[in-house]
Amino acid sequence: MADHHHHQHLPSDPALRVKALETVLTEKGLIDPAAIDAAIDAYEHKVGPHRGARVVARAWSDQDFKRRLLEDATRACDEMGSVGAQGSHIVAVENGPKIHNLVVCTLCSCYPWPLLGLPPAWYKSFAYRSRAVIEPRSVLAEFGLELDDDVEIQVWDSTAEIRYLVIPQRPEGTDGLEPDALAALVTRDSMIGTGRALQPEAKP
Amino acid sequence: MNGIHDMGGMHGFGPIELEANEPVFHETWEGRVYGISRAMTRPDGFNGDLGRYTREIMPPDLYLRSSYYERWLWGFEWALLHFGSMTLDELKAGEGSKAASPRNDALTADQVSATISHKMPSDRAIDTKAGYAVGDRVRAKNLNPSHHTRLPRYARGKTGTVRLHHGAHVLPDSHAQGQGENPEHLYTVAFTAKELWGEDASPRDLVMLDLWESYLEPV
């Protein structure tokens, strides 16, 4: 039985503690270190915001898909192979000229992994978790987003297994762009609601 | 539980620190912690809701001075000790008891990608009818359980409007305690910023929370 102070008996250096934990798990046959390597590789190289960007770009270019995405995002993302762990139930919310959606998890760090990968440090920070629900406008200002007073902000605090994807506004001057070119404008932050999609000329 | 993790609406944590071109893992050991979370054979009774709870029971001063993956590490250590997967002496020594015969069913590297795209739906079919419909006014109860819950303090006692109904989902409060899934209807409830934060809040802004049936009462 564990008390809540086991750490007092273990090294303070987390690298040493992880090594000990991994070693004991391995010796007991409870983990295969090669599987740890594979999980790291997957989230460093394969699963990331490019997946969500493909969904958004398709919604911008295909009205029928957008309707399906807003009606049942889990099914629509499934069509594109972008559901899975920490993204079994997805709801898409659309930004417009007078409405701005922002996603947070005040209690932990819930985030749509299959669409955006693992969350950035700021999303998991005490500052973002504490402030996004009480002062979203000053939070957005720190990201460089100054919203007019007549824009309604809807903050989604992810308290269940529903994961939220923001569909940012499609930038002006993108008529005729192919979905791949549109997807390159869709940033991670624009799908959390702390940014806008890039302007075509601002594309790095 | 009324823990330090329940941060919505707190003051004093300062500005949000942004990092350009941030790596997925800042330190090698962080990736190992994450990989362990995905690859280890979990003890019976361990589930995602319990995983969240293990981080909530960290002593609050330790929670605040620990980094994100240090909190995950602490939670895994706690759970593996709690369920008897290993002993504190083994963790201290960094080696398992030689007497025990190892299992041979751990997830392999070539099985990892399947787990990443594997859905783990939390919705369940139940016979109980939904107590609320979209558009209904509801109040979040003033509940203060000492165990895991997903009703943040800032919404307790507040009145909102049902925006979405998600069907029935596993109840984290029960699941994290090893008392079964006990699924209940789950709703997204919209609260005005003024209802949550008072007269100085923006008159337009809303905060949405996903709340289970037993968290709510009719208005």
Mean pLDDT computed over B57-75: 97
Query: Which residue among the candidates A108, A125, A130, A138 is catalytic per the annotation?
Result: A108
Q: What residues in A contact B96, CB-CB < 8 Å?
A: 23-24, 27-28
Which of A30, A108, A142 is closest, CB to CB, to B15? A142
Instruction: Please tell me which residue in A77, A82, A105, A190 is annotated as part of the active site.
Output: A105
Give the residue on A whose Cα is nearest the Cα of B98. Answer: A27
Q: Is B69 or A201 the better-scoring residue by pLDDT?
A: B69
Q: What is the pLDDT of residues A172-189, one digit of tens each?
A: 999 999 999 999 999 999
Sort B37 into a burial class: Cβ within 10 Å, 0-12 / 13-18 / 19+: middle
Alpha-carbon dihedral B136, B141, B145, B149, rounded to 10 degrees: 20
The pTM of the whole model exceeds 0.95: yes
Check B118 against A84: CB less than 8 A apart.
yes
Residue-wise pLDDT for B159-196, tens only, equals 999 999 999 999 999 999 999 999 999 999 999 999 99
- Tell me the sheet residues that pair with A162: A89
Q: What is the pLDDT of residue A138?
A: 97
Q: What is the pLDDT of residues A31-41, one digit of tens each?
A: 999 999 999 99
Residue B102 in this model has a pLDDT that exceeds 90:
no
Sorting pLDDT into bands at 50, 70 and 90, what band is B110? very high
Q: Tell me the chain B residues in contact with residue A14 when contact means C-beta distances shorter than 8 Å.
A: 27, 29, 33, 67, 69-70, 73
Query: What pLDDT was estimated at residue A204?
Result: 52
Count of C-beta atoms within a 10 Å radius of residue A46:
12
A chain contacts of residue B95, beta-carbon cutoff 8 Å: 23-24, 27
Kindly indicate the confidence band of residue A85, based on its pLDDT and cuts at 50, 70 and 90: confident
- pLDDT over 90 at A202, yes or no: no
Cα nearest neighbour of B71 on chain A: A14
Give the distance from residue B112's alpha carbon to the nearest chain A alpha carbon, in angstroms.
Answer: 6
DSSP letter (8 states) at residue B109:
G
Per-residue pLDDT of A142-152, as tens digits, reads 999 999 999 99
